[in-house]
Amino acid sequence: MAVMTFEVKRLLIVEDDVLTRGMLQTTLEQAGYEVIAVADGQDALRYVERRGLPHLVLADLHLPLMNGFELSAHLKRMGDVPIIILSGDDDEDNVVRGIAEYAEDYLIKPIAPRELVVRIERILSRIHDFGYAMAPILKVDDGLSVDFVRSAIWINGERTPLTPIETRLLSTLTQNSGLILTARQLVARGWPGEADQISDETLRVNLSRLRNKLTHGGTRPDYIQTERGVGYRFIFPV
């Protein structure tokens, strides 16, 4: 079941050209979005560490320090955030790689402002769960916090790393806390783009590993409940 949200959508622009960055920011702010604009991938990752993933990212392909594909790979490990790659390069191999591996869309510069706004609206309209755009750190109870950006949990001050799949599953469960999610709903969020190839047994194995980490080997409460024959849900302590 989707979580309804009416918050202003946050967009992150990563573009090293000052004029293009300014044009994109002005266009999207006028369209009603909250816009954060930075010049390189490292600044983008620093922003995500402070604020969590945005609702959508626009990333130039030819960025300094790390290119748009490298940045996209970092962001996708944190959550299933939609990405639009921007480039003055219309090389077919880059376009195909960008769409196949990282991006919802790939736009060739110069970019038409109205077209860009329509494309962003179309992408966001297809997303019914913006759980990936949650705050970077979630406090579950006095002993457990989840750091979605760094893919880790903290139990009584002790850090335990999470895999990217575990992070996406936990993000989906906590965003829908109290609601039963079916196995296929969780598979779709845990393995974006690969759901047809993932079995329910693979999901169970990954949830078992996640449970073991959250319960600290069985010494803490089990936050993930199994509803046999139906699905799974996350329960926050009362």
- Tens of pLDDT along 9-51? 999 999 999 999 999 999 999 999 999 999 999 999 988 887 8
Query: Are 159 and 107 in the same domain?
Result: no
Q: Judge contact between 27 and 58, C-beta under 8 A.
A: no
143 and 95, same domain (yes or no): no
Q: What is the pLDDT of residues 57-77, one digit of tens each?
A: 999 999 998 999 999 998 987
Last residue of a domain, one of 71, 104, 132: 132
pLDDT for the residue numbered 20: 95
In the chain, % of residues over pLDDT 90: 59
Of 83, 111, 132, the one marking the end of a domain is 132
Looking up tokens 């390069």 gives: 89
Structure tokens at 153: 């949990």
- The residue from 117, 132, 147 where one domain ends is 132
Assessment of whether the complete model's pTM goes beyond 0.75: no
DSSP 8-state secondary structure symbol assigned to residue 199:
-
CATH code (residue 164): 1.10.10.10
Kindly state whether residues 118 and 15 are assigned to the same domain: yes
Give yes or no for a cis peptide into 82 (omega within 30° of 0). no
pLDDT (mean) for 130-143: 78
On whether residue 4 sits in a domain, the answer given is no
Same domain, 44 and 92: yes
Is residue 187 included in any domain, yes or no? yes
3-state class of 145 per DSSP? strand
Q: Please list the alpha-helical segments (H only) found in the chain.
A: 18-30, 41-51, 68-78, 92-97, 113-125, 164-175, 183-190, 200-214
Indicate if 81 and 95 belong to the same structural domain: yes
User: For the segment 73-98, what is each residue's pLDDT rounded down to a tens digit?
Assistant: 989 877 789 999 999 988 899 899 98
Tell me what the mean pLDDT of segment 213-223 comes to. 85
Provide the 8-state DSSP code for 25. Answer: H
Please tell me the total count of domains within the chain: 2
The residue type found at 160 is T
Q: Are residues 17 and 46 in the same domain?
A: yes
The pLDDT of 196-223, averaged and rounded, is 91
pLDDT tier for residue 5 given thresholds of 50, 70 and 90: very low
User: What's the pLDDT at 6?
Assistant: 45
pLDDT-based confidence at residue 209 (cuts at 50, 70, 90): very high
Q: How confident is the model at residue 162 (pLDDT cuts 50, 70, 90)?
A: very high
pLDDT at 182: 94
Farthest-apart Cα atoms in the chain, separation:
57
Residue 27 forms part of a structural domain? yes
Cα 172 to Cα 181: distance, rounded to the nearest angstrom:
9
Does position 3 have pLDDT exceeding 50, yes or no?
Answer: no
Among the listed residues 165, 158, 171, 166, the one whose alpha carbon sits nearest the alpha carbon of residue 219: 158
C-alpha 151: how far from its chain's center?
Answer: 12
The verdict on 50 and 109 lying in the same domain is: yes
Using alpha carbons, list the distances in angstroms from residue 46 to 32, 56, 149, 153, 162: 24, 16, 10, 19, 20
CA 176, CA 234: separation in Å to the nearest integer? 7
Residue 177's pLDDT is: 84
123 found inside a domain: yes
* Residues 107, 169 within the same domain: no
Whether 99 and 174 share a structural domain = no
pLDDT at 116 over 90: yes
Exposure pattern of 8-18 as b/e (b: 16+ CB <10 Å)? ebbbbbbbeee
Between the two ends of the chain, the Cα-to-Cα distance in Å is: 22
- The whole domain housing 165 covers 137-234
Residues 111 and 200 in one domain: no
